[in-house]
Amino acid sequence: MAEENKPQEEEQAKGQGEDQTDQDKLAEEWAAALGETGDLDQDEEDASGEKAGDRDQGVDDEGLADEWAKALADEEEKSTKDEKKQQAMAAQSKDVQFNDLTEDVKAQKGGGHKRDLDFILDIPLNVTAQLGGTQLLINELLQLGQGSVIELNKLAGEPLEILVNGKLVARGEAVVINEKFGVRLTDIISPIERIKKLG
């Protein structure tokens, strides 16, 4: 049984030896990459390695400290410049004061709206009473003559449409006043209906 385990132990030792040589190769590659010389003997490396490592670490610490000191100085200089810039901008800016408009608005509430309406009361508007409408071809239009009848899209008895500047605002019926036509309003179009007509 001891003889049977012997080949397994040899294979394990061989595998460990290969792992060790792989690790040695990797260590040598790292040492070469870091700039250390690879032609020193193992004994010299062990003896002088500790001293060189201490020296390199001391040099690295000094370089790192110098970099930190430079970075801190740069940061402090930058913050000082930013503070000066903000102080200069603050000196150039002005304080703005706004007037209290609430008293002016309260004073206008009483008579201000009437004055605004008085301003627009004398604007002229075109008011039209539309009996109905239709579409004609140019050929049909050219054939019209005295006594021709044009059929409209409204039925007899339907209300007339009252348009102000081309917008429908009311409906009514035709009346005669002092031998002139007039319109008696029967229905005022609500603002909601006017908006629906626009869409």
Higher pLDDT, 93 or 74: 74
Which one-letter DSSP state was computed for residue 73? H
Which range, of 17-21, 38-42, 76-80, 142-146, averages the lowest pLDDT? 38-42
Give the HSE-up count for residue 26: Cα atoms under 13 Å, Cβ half-sphere: 6
Residue 151: which residues within 8 A CB-CB, separation 6 or more?
134
For 101-115, the pLDDT digits (tens) are 676 666 655 555 556
Lowest mean pLDDT among 106-115, 154-163, 166-175, 182-191: 106-115
Residues 129/131/134/138 CA torsion (nearest 10 deg):
-70
| Banded pLDDT at 69 (limits 50, 70, 90) | confident
User: What pLDDT, on the 0 to 100 scale, is given for residue 94?
Assistant: 72
Q: Percent of the chain beyond pLDDT 90?
A: 25
Q: Which of 69, 89, 109 is the last residue of a domain?
A: 89
State whether 84 and 138 are in the same domain.
no
139 and 193 in a common domain:
yes
Q: Does 10 reside within a domain?
A: no
Which amino acid is it at 144?
A: L
Least confident segment among 38-52, 74-88, 90-104, 166-180: 38-52
Number of domains in the chain: 2
Least confident of 33-37, 93-97, 157-161, 188-192: 33-37
Parent domain of 80: 53-89
Task: Output the six-digit token pair for 172.
Answer: 């009514």
Cβ-based burial of 160 (10 A; exposed 0-12, middle 13-18, buried ≥19): buried
Are residues 134 and 84 part of one domain? no
Beta strands 160-164 and 127-130 are antiparallel
The pLDDT, as a whole number, for residue 184 is 93
What pLDDT was estimated at residue 139? 93
Whether 83 and 135 share a structural domain = no
**Which carries the bigger pLDDT value, residue 86 or residue 36?**
86
Task: Band the pLDDT of 142: cuts 50, 70, 90.
Answer: very high
pLDDT at res. 156: 87
Check whether residue 136 and residue 79 sit in a common domain. Answer: no
